[in-house]
Structure 1
């Protein structure tokens, strides 16, 4: 009797849910008048699809039978029903056939493959996966390895190479780990590496999903995360799992106090193997590295040859750079997995380490391998080879005929339509899809078409893809130059630096708005705009003016000047402050125990966004300086040295 009541309850809930779903779908469609603009209906359709509102999407799609982008109308109609494979397979296949070769069809195939992987429908998955053109979804790569493993293939090495960034793990990757544990392609070592890596990157929920392959309860694991001191006080137990939980607890405790965690580790040394001790020091070193703690270098030196995560390898090098331990810089980079070691940053710093050890030829080889690159470390490597930064000869301009061909490109037309609708994500997807198979001449013509269409972010991005023919006027545009100079000259602010910052901030999108509310070319936060306006006496400023180009430049340059003056004129510190806030920039500087190169300071900024931001802005600035000054430039000279506040030469040991 109780079971029948339970079933009736489920049915009533289901009926209520279906009624609510029907009502929401009807409300979505009926909220727009029948004579509303098609663009408004299309935007409502997109919202319905992204909310998994099947009925609302169907009703709105029915109104848009002659809309200018039919492939997206059809996509948004079917998308809510892709989830859990509600849509019939025949309908999905018909869509993929009708829009074969388009960006949105590839997107739909991505959506479908995820659901096929979740459902374990491997026959259809294996048929469709090779047709997924972009192949940029980590979860799908995990599903593909799972499918092969279930057919008897040994994929352990491929899985280890893939599973390095837990933030990208979905169900597909945790399922892959479970499958490889079950068929014994992964060992307990592999599993605990993955669990530690997930916790280290702040993804405890991902780590918890992997616990099903251990004998550790979710409650015990959660206590390690929330109250690591309790685990450390008990010490490592007798079995493997308790040792691993002790190591994880060290990392958690080190977030509050690395010295305290170090005390617990030292106290447990008699019950841990040398390999576990080394891993324990690595667990402590990572949180200490993020805090730029001076004692972190001692922790890293005790890690010996412990296997590290990709992030830990990089922070071991960064801490070594700050401490001036070039031997540890070299040995750590040499121990990196090849995929990580080949990054231009570590190629450059390995070259510097070799040179410091007197290995001039080995250093030159490292620098030469990246000196042709146009980014931060390519520029620095060029200078290490004794050359200044200049511009190559520009290419032959695109002809009107070349540009006319781009104007006829259907994907570009869709992209521009999306830009008009302020749907930049869709616009970028359509635009970039068309660039995949273009040669340099076609890319330059596409970039020029973007310039003429006033979508400068696409111009910059497109021109950045060329390899042999380089047009720096496309890559580094300087719109509104007269207006810019009128704002920078009274402040004695370097115009090249401001353009370098804008290129990174907004890519010259005039109405750009970030997720946190920053606006305009210089991406100014509302509170900052109000503060600066008051400081400079702009008495009639209103938030509605923030996207006005001249007002945005006035406020942005004024703020940048204030920040630079507060930080002793350092462009590196001021650039970091513009992105992360002056307080953080001052804190990072205060953590220095000695002067360091500007490049070392930039590389060791704890925030990954700010770290990349500073390097990109300073690299951009150099190219703008070359363009404006029409002469060679030095990035190393511009970066200079970053010293602790009020530092004097007499402070040196």
Structure 2
């Protein structure tokens, strides 16, 4: 195919990647000047003055904005831009005066980078606070070695040794730390071996070979042979004589994991043959046994069923191995096997709606329709994918169970939470990305009992992703109107009509992909409301005559919806209107769906969905089908049943064989 469409596995993670990428890079205000207050316009002018380093104007605006809620932002940007000329006491005062403001730690990080660059180690040491950046950690070690007490030096040496061993590459800042450890005889062979082990496990073979120069000739040869085995995992199926001890065991275990992907049967035979000889303990054996079984299951290989059964019966089972054994039974319509597998699960898992539904399906298939109906009836009282499926099985109406929107006092919330005051102002001046960062730092700290009211406020401000997140944090799942908003209705409805697809389906995709954040960009590169991959946008754009498919264009809601809905139509046509397959392809790519359907005997669509190998895609399809049903109810006051949108999947001729 000329394109590939895939997103990152976690929406929250994708949101954070997007926000950090744009952190404190404000969008120029789009509001008309006449709509801005005097303070809002002064703030924008102050920011422009800071960029020009117009000191006279900056001083004037600071005086004017001293009592303005965004005044800390003025100070932050001024100190950040002019970090070299800002006195340390001023920076320290900002940090200590704004302990709850995320800008404080951002400024500290920026300052530490400057201090390290100038080698102001005493000041660095005095103002350091634990950092995620490996480079900043190494600068701290350097500062401690140069100016710390003997106790601090000793602690820094231990920390530096630990950090060095965990590096897959050595940042420039860490080179002096390595030299110090060497010169002070704190650089050991055990450290080198630990890091080499890490590098080989990450397939950084060249770095591992380079680092092995710190070892003896014999050990260098051992490293080289270890790498040879890992590069050619079938070598693990034969006796390993060139190396011994811990290195041989590590090489064997790693190679066996890789061999499991291509030849799980041979991997299991090798494990059983050499585990005792190479000194694997019980936990290591069972871990590899599970990995081999799961690798086989991911591809639905013929031997997967027996491998998983061995694992799940010998006491080393996990939630994942049981789930895969159940998925195989679902895919193959082995209803007795499925019931047996569910019985092996912990009670908490057995009571999960997924396994309750499949228990009912299995009982129904085995003829116990009365018990199955009781389970379906209970599940059908809930608004979710399995509740809707259950309602279809017994022919009852769907239950949406909405709760009325909470009444809220915006003034009281704004008075209590300065973060909300800042967010309101940032929205007013159209610094939306910065407002999003404020939201993400604020919501986890807000009073749990007020999150519902905060969600109402966020919705009123058209901050839909944060209304949704507030309710998720509060676990208020029945605020249906707030959790399923319908913004951008004009382009959604127009493109739905143009492409002859359901508007509710478009909304279902948007809700799952971005939670209505138009500027989000995932770590995989997907952009905007419908998380379009640029390559996909370019391809679809050519088909429908849209030339501007740039990343910037994809952050515009109208453009994103136009291209995303056209792609949905393309997939709908490709799969002859099968919404389940089209939805799966939207997430994982058409080539994956082809792999999951070719040579597959025809099965019910609910079986196919729960047998999708990718957890992300499996959950994605369920969510979109559920959300589409909810949006249909909200948009039209009626809904289409899932059973009407989930035809059987697979090859009918194979099923007859």
TM-score range, shorter chain: 0.5 to 0.7
Q: How far does the alpha carbon of each residue in 1:168-218 deviate from its partner, in whole angstroms, 9 at most, with x for none? A: xxxxxxxxxxxxxxxxxxxxxxxxxxxxxx99xx9899xx9xxxxxxx998
Q: How far does the alpha carbon of each residue in 1:440-493 deviate from its partner, in whole angstroms, 9 at most, with x for none? A: xx5443222111212011122334566778332211111122221111112211
Cα shift at 1:503: 0.5
Structure-2 change in CA distance of 1:271 and 1:635 (3 Å): farther
**Match of residue 38 from structure 2:** none
Structure-2 change in CA distance of 1:56 and 1:338 (3 Å): farther
Counterparts of 1:390 and 1:277 in 2: how far apart (Å)?
Answer: 48
Matching of residues 36-47 of structure 1 within 5 Å? 39=73, 42=76
**Match of residue 444 from structure 2:** 433
Counterparts of 1:55 and 1:343 in 2: how far apart (Å)?
Answer: 60
Contact 2:532 2:560 in 1 (8 A): yes
Cα shift at 1:536: 1.0
**Match of residue 292 from structure 1:** 300
**Which of 341, 355, 358 is residue 332 of structure 1 equivalent to?**
341
| TM-score, reference length from structure 1 | 0.63
Cα shift at 1:580: 1.9
Counterparts of 1:462 and 1:495 in 2: how far apart (Å)?
Answer: 26
Matched, 1:496 2:507: no
**Which of 352, 370, 374 is residue 383 of structure 2 equivalent to?**
374
**Match of residue 616 from structure 2:** 609
Structure-2 change in CA distance of 1:242 and 1:539 (3 Å): closer
Contact 1:326 1:356 in 2 (8 A): yes
Matched, 1:584 2:584: no
Matching of residues 346-385 of structure 1 within 5 Å? 346-358=355-367, 363=372, 371=380, 373-384=382-393
Structure-2 change in CA distance of 1:632 and 1:421 (3 Å): closer
Counterparts of 2:387 and 2:320 in 1: how far apart (Å)?
Answer: 22
Cα shift at 1:346: 3.2
Counterparts of 1:443 and 1:477 in 2: how far apart (Å)?
Answer: 17
Instruction: Describe the SS at the equivalent of 2:313.
Output: coil
Structure-2 change in CA distance of 1:278 and 1:459 (3 Å): closer
Contact 2:602 2:654 in 1 (8 A): no
Matched, 1:234 2:245: no
**Match of residue 326 from structure 2:** 317
Cα shift at 1:79: 6.5
Q: How far does the alpha carbon of each residue in 1:391-425 deviate from its partner, in whole angstroms, 9 at most, with x for none? A: 23541x444x6343334333433555677362477
Instruction: Describe the SS at the equivalent of 2:520.
Output: coil
Q: Which moved more, 1:322-331 or 1:294-303?
A: 294-303
**Match of residue 398 from structure 2:** 389
Cα shift at 1:582: 1.7
Structure-2 change in CA distance of 1:394 and 1:284 (3 Å): closer
Matching of residues 442-521 of structure 1 within 5 Å? 442-464=450-472, 470-521=478-529
Counterparts of 2:570 and 2:471 in 1: how far apart (Å)?
Answer: 34
| TM-score, reference length from structure 2 | 0.62
**Match of residue 567 from structure 1:** 575
Structure-2 change in CA distance of 1:81 and 1:521 (3 Å): closer
Unaligned runs of 5+ in 1: 1-29, 96-107, 120-197, 209-215
Matched, 1:599 2:603: no
Cα shift at 1:603: 2.5
CA RMSD of aligned residues (A): 5.2
Cα shift at 1:532: 1.5
**Match of residue 556 from structure 1:** 564
**Which of 80, 88, 91 is residue 61 of structure 1 equivalent to?**
91
Structure-2 change in CA distance of 1:244 and 1:333 (3 Å): farther
Contact 2:257 2:292 in 1 (8 A): yes
Q: How far does the alpha carbon of each residue in 1:578-619 deviate from its partner, in whole angstroms, 9 at most, with x for none? A: 1222222222222x5212232332233233322222221111
**Structure possessing the higher radius of gyration over alpha carbons:** 2
Counterparts of 1:57 and 1:218 in 2: how far apart (Å)?
Answer: 51
Cα shift at 1:560: 1.1
Unaligned runs of 5+ in 2: 1-49, 62-71, 114-121, 142-196, 209-218
Contact 2:383 2:401 in 1 (8 A): no
